[in-house]
């Protein structure tokens, strides 16, 4: 069997890996990408967690369920009446699957277009050899690749709760949560993080009674406190039962149900029976099958690959990006690291700015932020000014019929430099980009306040929040 030689071999074809491979090929390297994800026919399904069981399918279901919610509860406000409204869950899940497939196919097309050699199978280190690395691909056939540079982008897996192993029928990870065949009457969710809120929202909109059990006493601790407070209020009104400060004691599977015994925030013991239980308590870095020991690759105590600020691992010419290394587990963070690493291999100065990585939670209202929260600035002793503008005072939001939430700016008290922007409200996921650009260019709040924003648009709320920093809003 002959060995195939490459300048760069990327292991993992999620957003970190496939983007690294494309950028490396663009820079003139002979590049391969190995990914083992299989579609339901056993064929390749590149795109990783993000495309197959993460960002893309969750957003497809969020969209379908939001349409249903709008039709069921809000179309009447526009004078539209519907009778006999039904949800065909199988069709919704089928549509989600076809959106996923379009993305899988899109990545295969991009590999061809950029001349990236794709290998479908599990990549593992064999040995350091000839100044590079020998890598075996175990797929339909076994192949051997020789790489000068290796980029590891093997992603992450859902964290299991001890005693509540995923069976994807009653106890669900993100995978099972995205393909529940019928709306459960009672859905339990452990963990009120991003997945818990997004998936809880999907199934609540479709009629499930959703209870979210969260260990932390504070809701959405990573978000700005004022946003978290507003979100808690809105989600409660929507019918999400979010219980904070709980301690899970036992998860027990019955024939068709799961019971969860826990101590509530007051220490009282409770037992609840659910038809399905989603466990979304974070994710763990994945190096299963990589055979990292063969080459002495260093992992930390969490199982993440140890890297420096440039994504260099403990081994020469071996890099790692995305969920398998430190930092937020976000697709766009993985992509940025993938691009930066390919550019560093080419001797360029790839750069990732961790201060301007946006966070988005695709609930309704959407939640998005970039930079520091007010509580972080207080803890760091930074003198700041805050400005806030409610969507209730925005003409476009009123026309949309979606006036929940606000835009909030935090700016340096002396220099007016924007330190953080926090949005809860319609299309927050899109609005946050302006704040990211502004922060990348070290803009002041006044810069945004002086820029012409289209009328009527939601982005005017961003301009007004920037004006509010100087206490001179025009429409509130
Ligand atoms: P992954 O996407 O996990 O890709 C790793 C790939 O490597 C996989 O295809 C895996 O099969 C393959 N692989 C692993 N080991 C090997 C091996 N030895 N050989 C060959 N192949 C291997 N992030 C966002 O930014 N926005 C969102 O809206 C969002 N929504 C999410 C929703 C859910 C339900 C979940 C679970 C996650 C979501 N995320 C979101 C997080 C996002 O999916 C991850 O941050 C992102 O996928 C990480 O990319 P990655 O390339 O590091 O790893
Ligand atoms: P998460 O880290 O967002 O939330 C986990 C939650 O579970 C936390 O609130 C934590 O306090 C709680 N928890 C932990 N152990 C617990 C226990 N034993 N009992 C009760 N609660 C417990 O993790 P999640 O939701 O699993 O998502 C994983 C990652 O995927 C996210 O961190 C995020 O990076 C990514 N993601 C991003 C999305 C987006 O960008 N829109 C959407 C979904 C996921």
Probe residue for ligand 2, chosen from 62, 171, 175, 193 as the CB with the greatest number of ligand atoms within 8 Å: 193
Which ligand has its closest atom nearest to the C-alpha of 178?
Answer: 1
pLDDT in tens, 255-286: 999 999 999 999 999 999 999 999 999 999 99
From 3.10.290.10, 3.20.20.60, 3.50.50.60, 3.40.630.10, which CATH number describes the 171-281 domain? 3.50.50.60
Question: Which residue has its alpha carbon closest to ligand 1 atom 47?
Answer: 50
pLDDT in tens, 143-172: 999 999 999 999 999 999 999 999 999 999
Confidence of residue 141 (pLDDT cuts 50, 70, 90): confident
pLDDT of residue 304: 98
pLDDT of residue 407: 98
For residue 227 and ligand 2, the question of a CB distance below 6 A is answered with no
Do residues 275 and 187 lie in contact, with contact meaning Cβ atoms separated by under 8 Å? yes
Percent of the chain with pLDDT over 90: 99
For residue 332 and ligand 1, the question of a CB distance below 6 A is answered with yes
State in Å, rounded, how far the first CA of the chain is from the last one.
72
| pLDDT of 51 above 80 | yes
**Ligand 1 atom showing the smallest separation from residue 177 Cα:** 34
Probe residue for ligand 2, chosen from 264, 282, 357 as the CB with the greatest number of ligand atoms within 8 Å: 282
Rounded to the nearest integer, the mean pLDDT of the chain is 97
pLDDT in tens, 119-133: 999 999 999 999 999
Within the chain, all domains assigned CATH 3.50.50.60 are found at 3-157+284-352, 171-281
Beta strands in 140-197 (DSSP E): 142-152, 156-158, 171-172, 186-190
pLDDT in tens, 3-31: 999 999 999 999 999 999 999 999 999 99
pLDDT of residue 2: 84
- According to DSSP, the residues that pair with 407 across neighbouring strands are 389, 423
Probe residue for ligand 1, chosen from 12, 36, 99, 147 as the CB with the greatest number of ligand atoms within 8 Å: 12
Which ligand has its closest atom nearest to the C-alpha of 288?
Answer: 1
Do residues 44 and 104 lie in contact, with contact meaning Cβ atoms separated by under 8 Å? yes
Average pLDDT over residues 371-398: 98
For residue 49 and ligand 1, the question of a CB distance below 6 A is answered with yes
Segments in 346-458 forming alpha helices (H): 374-380, 395-400, 428-440, 445-449
Rounded to whole angstroms, what are the CA distances from 374 to 171, 420, 447?
A: 37, 8, 21
| pLDDT of 140 above 90 | no
Confidence of residue 1 (pLDDT cuts 50, 70, 90): low
Do residues 416 and 445 lie in contact, with contact meaning Cβ atoms separated by under 8 Å? yes
Question: Which residue has its alpha carbon closest to ligand 2 atom 41?
Answer: 361
| pLDDT of 418 above 90 | yes
CA separation for the pair 201, 141 (Å, rounded): 43
Question: Which residue has its alpha carbon closest to ligand 2 atom 30?
Answer: 329
Report the 10 Å Cβ neighbour count for 140: 10
Do residues 318 and 148 lie in contact, with contact meaning Cβ atoms separated by under 8 Å? no
* Polymer length in residues for the chain: 476
Residue 311 is encoded by which pair of tokens? 């994504």
Q: Which helix (H) or strand (E) holds 101?
A: helix 89-113
Rounded to whole angstroms, what are the CA distances from 468 to 130, 270, 460?
A: 62, 46, 12
For residue 10 and ligand 1, the question of a CB distance below 6 A is answered with no
Residue 171, phi then psi, degrees to nearest 5:
-105, 115
For residue 211 and ligand 1, the question of a CB distance below 6 A is answered with no
Do residues 216 and 193 lie in contact, with contact meaning Cβ atoms separated by under 8 Å? no
Residue 38 is encoded by which pair of tokens? 């299989």
Do residues 46 and 108 lie in contact, with contact meaning Cβ atoms separated by under 8 Å? yes
Claim: this prediction has a pTM higher than 0.75: yes
Average pLDDT over residues 319-343: 98
Spell out the residues 6+ positions from residue 105 whose beta carbon is closer than 8 angstroms to its own. Answer: none
pLDDT of residue 56: 98
Cα 168 to chain centroid, rounded: 21
Average pLDDT over residues 230-253: 98
- Homologous superfamily of 3-157+284-352 in CATH? FAD/NAD(P)-binding domain (3.50.50.60)
Domain 356-469 top-level CATH class: alpha beta
pLDDT of residue 425: 98
Q: Which helix (H) or strand (E) holds 411?
A: strand 406-412
Is 455 assigned a catalytic role? yes
């Amino acid at each position: 069997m002959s060995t195939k030689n490459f300048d760069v071999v990327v292991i993992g074809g999620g957003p970190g890996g496939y983007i690294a491979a494309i950028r490396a090929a663009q820079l003139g390297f002979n590049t391969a990408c190995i990914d083992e994800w299989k579609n339901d026919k056993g064929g390749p399904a590149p795109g990783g967690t993000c495309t197959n069981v993460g960002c893309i399918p969750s957003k497809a279901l969020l969209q379908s369920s939001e349409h249903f919610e709008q039709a069921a509860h809000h179309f009447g406000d526009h004078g539209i009446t519907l009778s006999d409204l039904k949800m065909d869950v199988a069709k919704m899940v089928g549509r989600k699957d076809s959106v996923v497939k379009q993305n899988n196919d899109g990545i295969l097309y991009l590999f061809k277009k950029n001349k990236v050699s794709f290998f479908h199978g599990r990549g593992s280190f064999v040995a350091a050899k000839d100044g590079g690395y020998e890598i075996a691909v175990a797929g339909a056939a076994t192949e051997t690749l020789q790489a000068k540079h290796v980029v590891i982008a093997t992603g992450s897996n859902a964290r299991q709760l001890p005693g509540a192993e995923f069976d994807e029928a009653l106890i669900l990870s993100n995978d099972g949560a995205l393909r529940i065949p019928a709306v459960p009457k009672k859905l339990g969710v452990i963990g009120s993080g991003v997945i818990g809120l997004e998936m809880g929202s999907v199934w609540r909109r479709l009629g499930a009674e959703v209870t979210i059990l969260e260990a932390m006493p504070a809701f959405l601790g990573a978000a700005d406190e004022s946003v978290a407070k507003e979100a808690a209020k809105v989600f409660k009104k929507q019918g999400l039962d979010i219980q904070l400060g709980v301690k899970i004691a036992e998860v027990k599977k019955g024939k068709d149900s799961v019971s969860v015994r826990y101590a509530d925030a007051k220490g009282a013991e409770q037992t609840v029976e659910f038809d399905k239980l989603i466990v979304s308590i974070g994710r763990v870095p994945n190096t299963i099958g990589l055979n990292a020991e063969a080459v002495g690759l260093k992992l930390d105590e969490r199982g993440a690959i140890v890297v420096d600020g440039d994504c260099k691992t403990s081994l020469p010419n071996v890099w790692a990006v995305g969920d398998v290394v430190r930092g937020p587990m976000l697709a766009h963070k993985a992509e940025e690291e993938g691009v930066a690493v390919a550019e560093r291999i080419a001797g360029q100065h790839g750069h990732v700015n961790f201060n301007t990585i946006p966070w988005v939670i695709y609930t309704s209202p959407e939640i998005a932020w970039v930079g520091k929260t007010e509580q972080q600035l207080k803890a760091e002793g930074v003198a700041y000014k805050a400005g806030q503008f409610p969507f209730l005072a925005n003409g476009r939001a009123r026309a949309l019929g979606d006036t929940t939430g606000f835009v909030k700016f935090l700016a340096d008290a002396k220099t007016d430099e924007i330190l953080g922007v926090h949005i809860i409200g319609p299309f927050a996921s899109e609005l946050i980009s302006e704040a990211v650009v502004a922060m990348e260019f070290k803009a002041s709040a006044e810069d945004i306040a002086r820029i012409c924003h289209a009328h009527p648009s939601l982005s005017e709320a961003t301009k007004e929040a920037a004006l509010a920093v100087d206490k001179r809003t025009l429409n509130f």
